[in-house]
Amino acid sequence: MWMVKNTLRATLTFRGLDLSIPAGATYDLDALGRERAESSNQVLVAFEEGYLENVHKAARVESDRLPTQAPTASDGLTGAEFEARMKEFQRQFVSELKTHIPALAVSSNESAMTKDVKALVDEFKLLREHFELERNKLARAGDLSDAEVRARMAFLEEKENELVKNFERVGRRVETKDGDVMGKADMLSNL
Amino acid sequence: MAKAVDIGTSFIVGARLEDGNEVFTVERDAFFSMPREDLSEELITRAGANFLIRGNEIFVVGEDALKYCMITGRHEAYRRPMKMGVLNPGEEEAIPLIERLIEGIVGPADFPGEVIAATIPAAPLDTELDVTFHKIVLERFLKKLGYDVRILNEALAIIYAECPTVDDDGAQAPFSGIGISFGAGMTNLVVAWRAKKLFEISVARGGDWIDQRVSQVRNIPVGKVTHEKEKGLDLSKVDPKNPLHLGLEIFYEELIKHVLTEFATHFKSTQTTFSNPLDVVIAGGTASVPGFIDKFKEILEQQGAPVPIGNVTLGQDPLRTVAKGALVAAVSMEKKKLAKQAEAEREAAAQAAAAAKPAPKPAPKPDLDEIDIEAGV
Ligand SMILES: Nc1ncnc2c1ncn2[C@@H]1O[C@H](COP(=O)(O)OP(=O)(O)OP(=O)(O)O)[C@@H](O)[C@H]1O
Ligand SMILES: [Mg+2]
């Protein structure tokens, strides 16, 4: 299963794949065949632009895209060891990210919306570069098993989407309950 | 139900009531332009972006503009329709684009003649800026959307939102005090007495001015200065070893001094005196930096003011205070308008009854547009 979500307020149409996903709807891209979906440029662009978002991407049974490596020590990991190593990777990556781009890493930050455009653009580029760097590192990592590489790649993708989305929520609607507009308006009318 | 819109140099904030809750819609006052062939309309439509086509150019407006700026990496294509509090004179495309933004935020009137309060700055003392042109353009456009438009000074809106009171011979006079909005393009000040504006001034300096000045003297890109100002600055504990923060503090002080000097100079000519102290209520993004109020009090202490001053406070939600106050005004104006209309109907009915004894004709419904209601509250 590879569930994705259309984050737009419009239907997303992939001409070449003969696929339409209504606004806000989810879709299992595995229905197209994982290979076909993963190698589609349109899908790639949709992810890059944030039109599509990963809901859940199950690991593929057989891996033919990542270079097969010589068996390494990590191949014989127990489930618990795998988990622990993954956790450590996640922790380290997120803390690294936060030192690089503190503003973007903090979610739902009210004043993030008042930031200057240029600073945002620069930060955003930095952010993407950082993810790219980490991906390259992973692809070249000799001491990781395929399963570990895949799990880490999936984590990066999820994190990246989260941050991009956080950024995209910037212009928005705010609702408040407390501020007594009616009461003050009455007072004003009665003056 | 009435609405409000605060059209600022960096943000446009819409306000309305929905089921008794205040709902604000915040949009970046900006647009992004690109040649039509660069990015297909279909792509933009699919992305759900707010856009406009004029000739061979596509303009993406508001927050989406920022998004496209980032996707394409073209900073120069990112533009702002307003500068120093009014429509940007160097930006030909400003009018249709700001109209698109405003329409996106407030939408058309829910019924013909719905009241909308829109805020504008006072004519600045230190620059030749055309506030009248700005006002007429916005007024005309909101009318086109079906609204009964009431224009309001943005600092007066702060008075409506925060409701400072003054002791008036033992009674409390509401909506009386000094309101100051420290925005991106401008700083506006009013002195109000019982919701009436007694005095107003504005200077064409605000957050943008601080950023530009610091950028010049420290030779740091403006974007970086803005970012540091909004993220790292605390005026109550400026690190003396941090040149950027020191620069920001200096120009923050300059801005406050300038505003208080202009206040003192021009208030004299009104020959108004107050015996009881007036509270100062402050709002706007520039005032939301930590330590701003203490800095303001410190300079006020040194320079003094032309009226006795009581408390100095920051609005509850500095970036939205102006929009909220405008909403208070709009709701109140609409209430008055409806009451007046009901009274006119009653009178007409009574007259008709007196004139035609046997079969009173139904009273003609007064045309909404013909009821004249004062623009002030
Ligand atoms: N936390 C913060 N600290 C310092 N400055 C801030 C902060 N948040 C926003 N600002 C500044 O506030 C300004 C935006 O404020 P605001 O939204 O009140 O202005 P505006 O209404 O768009 O402009 P104007 O009223 O002058 O036309 C910008 O200069 C921005 O850099
Ligand atoms: Mg403003």
A41 touches chain B (CB under 8 A): no
CA distance B258 to chain A (A): 24
Burial of A42 (0-12, 13-18, 19+ CB in 10 A): middle
Predicted confidence at residue A99, as pLDDT, reads 64
Distance CA B109, CA B361 (A): 32
Q: In this complex, do A118 and B75 lie within 8 Å of one another by their Cβ atoms?
A: yes
Distance CA A180, CA B258 (A): 34
User: Under CATH, which number does the domain B3-29+80-331 receive?
Assistant: 3.30.420.40
A118 touches chain B (CB under 8 A): yes
Average pLDDT over residues A168-179: 63
Whether A78 and A25 map to the same domain: the answer is: no
Which pLDDT band holds residue A122 (cuts at 50, 70, 90)?
low
Question: Which residues touch A78 (CB under 8 Å, ≥6 apart)?
Answer: none
Question: Is the pLDDT confidence value at A116 over 60?
Answer: no
Q: Cα A168 from chain centroid?
A: 12
Whether A37 and A120 map to the same domain: the answer is: no
Measured by CA distance, the residue closest to atom 1 of ligand 1 is: B230
Least confident of A6-10, A147-151, B328-332: A6-10
Q: Indicate the number of domains in chain A.
A: 2
Q: B43 or B297: whose pLDDT is higher?
A: B297
Whether A74 and A163 map to the same domain: the answer is: yes
Distance CA B16, CA B14 (A): 7
Q: B235 or B33: whose pLDDT is higher?
A: B235
Distance CA A157, CA A155 (A): 5
Distances (CA, A) of A61 to A64, B6, B74: 10, 56, 42
Structural element, H or E, at residue B105: helix B94-106
A24 phi-psi bin (left φ>0, alpha ψ -120 to 50, beta other)? left
- Give φ, ψ of B115 to 5 degrees: -80, 135
- Give φ, ψ of B18 to 5 degrees: -130, 115
Which pLDDT band holds residue A118 (cuts at 50, 70, 90)?
low
B149 Cα–ligand 2 center, Å: 18
Which pLDDT band holds residue B222 (cuts at 50, 70, 90)?
confident
Which pLDDT band holds residue A173 (cuts at 50, 70, 90)?
confident
List the single residue in A with minimal CA-CA distance to B14: A173
Q: Which atom of ligand 1 is nearest to the CA of B154?
A: 25
Q: A62 or B212: whose pLDDT is higher?
A: B212
Q: Which of A11, A26, A57 is the last residue of a domain?
A: A57
Whether A156 and A80 map to the same domain: the answer is: yes
CA distance B360 to chain A (A): 34
Whether A28 and A110 map to the same domain: the answer is: no
Asked if the structure places residue A25 within a domain, the reply is yes
Task: Tell me which residue range forms the domain holding A137.
Answer: 70-168
SS3 of chain A: the string is CEEEEECCCCCEEEHHHCEEECCCCEEEHHHHCHHHHHHCHHHHHHHHCCCEEEEEECCCCCCCCCCCCCCCHHHHCCHHHHHHHHHHHHHHHHHHHHHHCHHHHCCCCHHHHHCCHHHHHHHHHHHHHHHHHHHHHHHHCCCCCHHHHHHHHHHHHHHHHHHHHHHHCCCCEEEECCCCHHHHHHHHHCC
Question: Is the pLDDT confidence value at A38 over 90?
Answer: no
Of B18-27, B41-50, B127-136, which one has max mean pLDDT? B18-27
Asked if the structure places residue A80 within a domain, the reply is yes
What percent of chain B has a predicted confidence (pLDDT) above 70?
Answer: 90
Distance CA B163, CA B151 (A): 19
Whether A145 and A87 map to the same domain: the answer is: yes
Structure ipTM over 0.95, yes or no? no
- What number of CA atoms fall less than 13 Å from residue A96's CA on the CB side? 14
Distance CA B243, CA B241 (A): 6
Predicted confidence at residue B24, as pLDDT, reads 93
Question: Closest to B223 (Cβ–Cβ): which among A9, A117, A186?
Answer: A117
SS3 B296: helix
Pocket of ligand 1 (CB under 6 A): A 111, 114; B 8-11, 85, 181, 183-186, 206-208, 226, 229-230, 284-286, 288-289, 319
List residues bridging with A142 in a β-sheet. none
For chain B, domain boundaries = 3-29+80-331
List residues bridging with B153 in a β-sheet. B120
Question: Is the pLDDT confidence value at A140 over 80?
Answer: yes
Predicted confidence at residue A106, as pLDDT, reads 38
Mean pLDDT of all residues in chain B? 86
Which residue is it, tokens 């980032």? B70
Q: In this complex, do A173 and B24 lie within 8 Å of one another by their Cβ atoms?
A: yes
Asked if the structure places residue A176 within a domain, the reply is no
Structural element, H or E, at residue B375: none
pLDDT in tens, A87-96: 888 888 777 7
Tally Cβ neighbours within 10 Å of residue B123.
19
Predicted confidence at residue B214, as pLDDT, reads 95
Which pLDDT band holds residue A6 (cuts at 50, 70, 90)?
confident
Whether A52 and A84 map to the same domain: the answer is: no
Q: Which amino acid is at A87?
A: K
B376 Cα–ligand 2 center, Å: 20
A129 touches chain B (CB under 8 A): no
Q: In this complex, do B46 and A13 lie within 8 Å of one another by their Cβ atoms?
A: yes
Which pLDDT band holds residue B161 (cuts at 50, 70, 90)?
very high
Average pLDDT over residues A54-58: 80
Predicted confidence at residue B40, as pLDDT, reads 61
Distance CA B32, CA B61 (A): 6
Whether A101 and A153 map to the same domain: the answer is: yes
Q: In this complex, do A177 and B27 lie within 8 Å of one another by their Cβ atoms?
A: no
Average pLDDT over residues B200-225: 91
Q: Which amino acid is at B109?
A: A
Tally Cβ neighbours within 10 Å of residue B253.
15
Q: In this complex, do A188 and B327 lie within 8 Å of one another by their Cβ atoms?
A: no
Asked if the structure places residue A191 within a domain, the reply is no
Q: In this complex, do A175 and B22 lie within 8 Å of one another by their Cβ atoms?
A: yes
Question: Is the pLDDT confidence value at B376 over 60?
Answer: no
Chain B residues in contact with A10 (beta carbon < 8 A): 45-48
pLDDT in tens, B86-140: 888 878 788 888 888 888 889 899 999 999 999 988 888 877 777 888 899 899 9
A174 touches chain B (CB under 8 A): yes
Chain B residues in contact with A189 (beta carbon < 8 A): 332, 335-336, 377
Question: Is the pLDDT confidence value at B237 over 80?
Answer: yes
